[in-house]
Amino acid sequence: MHSILRVGLGHDTHRLSAGRRLLLGGVEIPHEKGLVGHSDADVLLHAVIDALLGAAALGDIGEMFPNDAEENRGRDSADMLQRAHEEIRRRGFEIVNLDCIVFAQLPKLSPYKQAIRERLAELLEVDAERVGVKAKTGEQVGFIGRGEAISAQCVALLEKTTLEKRE
């Protein structure tokens, strides 16, 4: 048996606006502003999707879920993540681990990191020990620091086990 390891990097940014709900990693976070996007705008789930698809060389979230497609308007990003996960599994890949960062000035995310970690693990059917979630502020610099947007990054490590021997 031979193991193939693949790394993928995902990133997403959405602007904040009053009157919208804030979803991060599939968890609703109380805040006076929420993220704006064609789907539910969950930047963390979008970054995870891109990391998984990238590691499996399957393109990006915009190719799988075009933002000009009506069926994706208001779409649940958790559903999108599960579909992307099914696709990488169909191709023989399993998740080794994820390491994620959310960049937000406000709200403070420390009280929600464990819930986000557990929700990601649940959606991806992996143990929570395989999912890292960190939060960073913008230190009042740039669009993150001014509270205009939230960004997220994710690195995913995938493994594919094959019976063939590499030469």
Q: Flag whether 83 is in a domain.
A: yes
Supply the pLDDT for residue 64: 87
Per-residue pLDDT of 1-14, as tens digits, reads 788 999 999 999 99
Task: Tell me if the bond preceding 66 is cis, omega within 30° of 0.
Answer: no
State the total domains in the chain: 1
Supply the pLDDT for residue 73: 79
Q: Flag whether 46 is in a domain.
A: yes
Q: Flag whether 167 is in a domain.
A: no
Find all residues with CB under 8 Å of 119, minimum gap 6, and list them: 25, 26, 27
pLDDT of 166 above 70: no
Supply the pLDDT for residue 27: 98
- Residue 129's φ and ψ, nearest 5 degrees, are -65, -15
Q: Flag whether 147 is in a domain.
A: yes
Per-residue pLDDT of 19-67, as tens digits, reads 999 999 999 999 999 999 988 999 999 999 999 999 999 999 989 888 8
Q: Flag whether 63 is in a domain.
A: yes
CATH of the domain at 143: 3.30.1330.50
H-helix or E-strand containing 155?
Answer: strand 149-162
Q: Are strands 131-136 and 93-103 parallel, antiparallel or unpaired?
A: parallel
Cα–Cα nearest to 28, from 38, 42, 39, 14: 42
In 10 A of CB 107, how many CB atoms? 18
Supply the pLDDT for residue 123: 98
Q: Flag whether 157 is in a domain.
A: yes
Q: Tell me which residue range forms the domain holding 7.
A: 2-162
